[in-house]
Structures are given as structure tokens and as C-alpha cells.
Amino acid sequence: MLEGKVILIVGGASGIGRATAELCVRRGARVIVADYNATAGAAAAAACGAEFVQVNVADENSVQQMAAQVDAKFGRLDGLVQTAGVLKGPFIDIEKFELDMFREVLEINLVGSFLCAKHSAPLMRRAGGGVIVLISSAAAYAGSSSYAYGSSKGGVSGLGITLANKLAPENIRVNVVAPGNIETPMKRSVIDADVALNGPQAGQAQLSLGTPEGVARILAWLVSDDADYVRGLITTR
Ligand SMILES: NC(=O)c1ccc[n+]([C@@H]2O[C@H](COP(=O)([O-])OP(=O)(O)OC[C@H]3O[C@@H](n4cnc5c(N)ncnc54)[C@H](O)[C@@H]3O)[C@@H](O)[C@H]2O)c1
């Protein structure tokens, strides 16, 4: 169902991105895993038969080079799934929340999503269309996470809806996916920190977690032609 498609999974070294890269390869796509973590990214790509490109999504030159490498290797781009993100400071009070940390999270989660879309859209336009999938979070709506993370994910939702509106005439579909609580290294670090602070009965420890593969099934479907009537924001378990 993804035969012939070139799919770029940013943040594909770990968690939801890695599971999505594996599934897209299994469904016949040619996949590029891009990630800041070169060791884990190269290993994840090698394990499933994808290519690897190192990128820092917060750095425009780096994102531009990633797009240029995809273009040089494949000459087209059909799908972008931007899963790279960080969660910092979930238990820091507002008056102690450092501006530097707030900015860092926005630079990666929100500015990074903007830059990946900005440098992928021209390749898709040239191929006659494509799909961009950005990852928000239930945290943007439930208010359950850090000040910086919730703000960044609310921004990603607004960015995605704006992109969807403006790129639709060029046959570029944009969807935003907001997962719930998923068993990944990111989520595990929050649970561990909550337990260390508040003991084994901490709220995060009581959450029932979904699997990265569960979200990957939705993401791999969204970059396929079968999802061409899907619009806007999708929430998941
Ligand atoms: N796990 C959850 O419960 C959950 C819930 C809602 C949303 N999300 C979102 O899903 C996405 C994937 O999260 P995950 O849980 O799989 O996390 P993860 O930590 O397992 O994976 C995130 C990946 O992003 C990469 N990354 C971080 N900063 C980067 C940068 N500057 N440039 C390039 N790559 C960078 C990391 O190296 C890592 O491989 C994130 O956007 C996260 O906010 C996760």
C-alpha cells in the first residue's frame, strides 16, 4: 500500500518514529530515517532497511541539508512524518520554569516542525503532491504536561491546520496526530521522574500506555493514498 513512495520519518531513531519507519518499509515504501541521534538513528534504519540522515530539526541549515540529501538520493518526496520532539520540565512550577528551557522545547517541537514542513513542501510540490503529518499531543488539550511541552504541541496543531489550508490547492495533504500516552523512552522518563518525586502511586505510573506500533499503524496509513479523504486533527489512544 506504500509501494513506490518515498517517506521521510524525522525522529525515526526511537519510539513512535522508529515503529512508523519499520511499518512503512514493510508496506513497500522507500524510507529515510532522520534523527539527531546518529548512533540510534543509523541502527534503527539499518534494522529495517531504511536510509539514515542526521538532522537537528531546530537548525534550518541542517533541515535544508536533510531535504537536499533526500532529493539527491531519491529525486522525490511523497510523505513526511515529523515525530522528533522533546519533553522537558513536566514537574517544574511556573515561577521556576526557566525561559531557556521553554525556548529549547519550542525550538525543537514547534520550530522544528515548521522547518521540516518548509523544506519538504517544495519536493512534494515538484512531485505533484504529498502528505505531511505532524505530531501534536493530548498534552496540548488536556493540560497535563509541562508548560513548554503543552505550548509547543498547541503550536504544532495550529501550524498543521494552517499548512493544511494553504497547501491543499497544491495537492499536499497535512494532518496532525495527537497521541495519548504511549510506551516510549520519552514517556518512560516522565513516569520514572514522577515515581522518583511522588512514589510508586504517582499519577503517571497509573496510566495505561499504548504501544508505538499502535500509533505507527495510523501514521503509516495517513501517508498512504487510502487516507486521501482524511482532514485535520486526529487523536489516538
Ligand atoms: N510517547 C507519548 O506518550 C507521546 C504522546 C503524545 C505525543 N508524543 C509525541 O510523539 C513524538 C515521538 O515521541 P516518542 O514518545 O516516540 O519519543 P522518543 O523520545 O522515543 O523519540 C523522539 C525522537 O526525536 C529525536 N529528536 C529529539 N530532538 C531532536 C532534534 N533536535 N532533531 C532531530 N531529532 C530529534 C530523538 O533523538 C528521538 O529519536 C514526539 O513529538 C512526542 O512529543 C509522544
The Å distance, Cα 83 to ligand 1 centre, comes to 6
Ligand 1 environment, Cβ below 6 A:
11, 13-17, 35-37, 55-58, 83-86, 108, 112, 135, 137, 179, 181-182, 184-187
Distance 87 CA to ligand 1 centre (A): 8
Contact yes or no for 1/28 (Cβ under 8 A) = yes
C-alpha cell read off for 156? 504544532
Atom of ligand 1 lying closest to residue 185 CA = 20
Asked if 149 is an active-site residue, the reply is yes
Q: What is the DSSP letter of 40?
A: H
Mutate which of 87, 184, 207, 208 for ligand 1 pocket (most atoms within 8 A of beta carbon): 184
User: Beta 130-135 vs 6-10: how paired, if at all?
Assistant: unpaired
Ligand 1 center–CA 9 separation, angstroms: 11
User: Over its length of 237 residues, how does the chain's per-residue pLDDT go in tens digits?
Assistant: 899 999 999 999 999 999 999 999 999 999 999 999 999 999 999 999 999 999 999 999 999 999 999 999 999 999 999 999 999 999 999 999 999 999 999 999 999 999 999 999 999 999 999 999 999 999 999 988 999 999 999 999 999 999 999 999 999 999 999 999 999 999 999 999 999 999 999 988 889 999 999 999 999 999 999 999 999 999 999
For the stretch 59-66, contacts whose Cβ atoms lie closer than 8 Å and that sit 24 or more positions apart, written own/partner, are: 60/115, 63/112, 63/115, 63/116, 63/118, 63/119, 64/119, 66/8, 66/10, 66/34, 66/119
Q: Which fold has domain 6-235?
A: Rossmann fold (3.40.50)
Q: How is the chain split into domains, by residue range?
A: 6-235
For the CA of 179, the nearest atom of ligand 1? 6
DSSP 145: S
Helix (H, G, I), strand (E, B) or coil at 85: coil
Grid-cell match 487510502, residue found:
226
Annotated active-site residue in 36, 147, 149, 229: 149
pTM summary value:
0.98
